[in-house]
Amino acid sequence: MSMSNYRRLHISGATYFITQVTYQRQPWLCSDIGRTAVRAALGHVRKNYPFSIDAFVLLPDHFHTLWTLPTGDSNLSMRMLLIKRFVTKYYGHQLGLDVAISRSREKRKEGNLWQRRFWEHLIRDDVDFANHCDYIHYNPVRHQLCELPQQWAFSSVHRFIEQNIYSLDWGSSGEVQLVSDIWDV
């Protein structure tokens, strides 16, 4: 199937694992401005298009998240579009990225902050949900940004530990079973 024929599943009230990458993997997301921009965008979009953020990790050049949409709503793509547009419009100039954009991006009036598409996976069941939570929270270790998931500040792993979903030493043994064997983002 070619990308031009790609279609997303639209399932009301579903939970999705999402990965969004920066344009040319520029590492701006964990900067003070980047973190502020993403947080503000999420808050702004959630006011008009609610969704729950079940898990989240912010890395320098991408983020992973689990979102659950409300019953009767399946518009995941609109939320991602609005988040990226908000960050670009209100924070793009502050980031000051000096990355040239292609003619195609220029023609489409796209900036130099985000990759055009995002990756999503429909969560099928509780095991799939748990596996993706583990993948999200262990991702900073996989990318060698820290030695333990708890050392990474920009992660919902801390909320999972506070809520006793994970133990205090979760991930310290390095024996976490991850869905990462399927993909490497």
Which of 7-11, 147-151, 175-179: highest mean pLDDT?
147-151
Segment 110-128, tens digit of pLDDT: 667 999 899 999 999 999 9
- At 68, is the secondary structure helix, strand, or coil? strand
Quick check: 4 pLDDT over 70? no
Segment 54-90, tens digit of pLDDT: 999 999 999 999 999 999 998 999 999 999 999 999 9
- At 17, is the secondary structure helix, strand, or coil? strand
Give the amino acid at 178.
L
Rounded Cα distance, 118 and 81, in Å: 10
Q: Up-side HSE of residue 2: CA atoms within 13 Å toward CB?
A: 2
Q: Are 118 and 88 in contact (CB under 8 A)?
A: no
Closest CA to 17 of 62, 92, 68, 60: 68
Rounded Cα distance, 79 and 82, in Å: 5
Closest CA to 91 of 44, 57, 40: 40
Give the amino acid at 41.
A
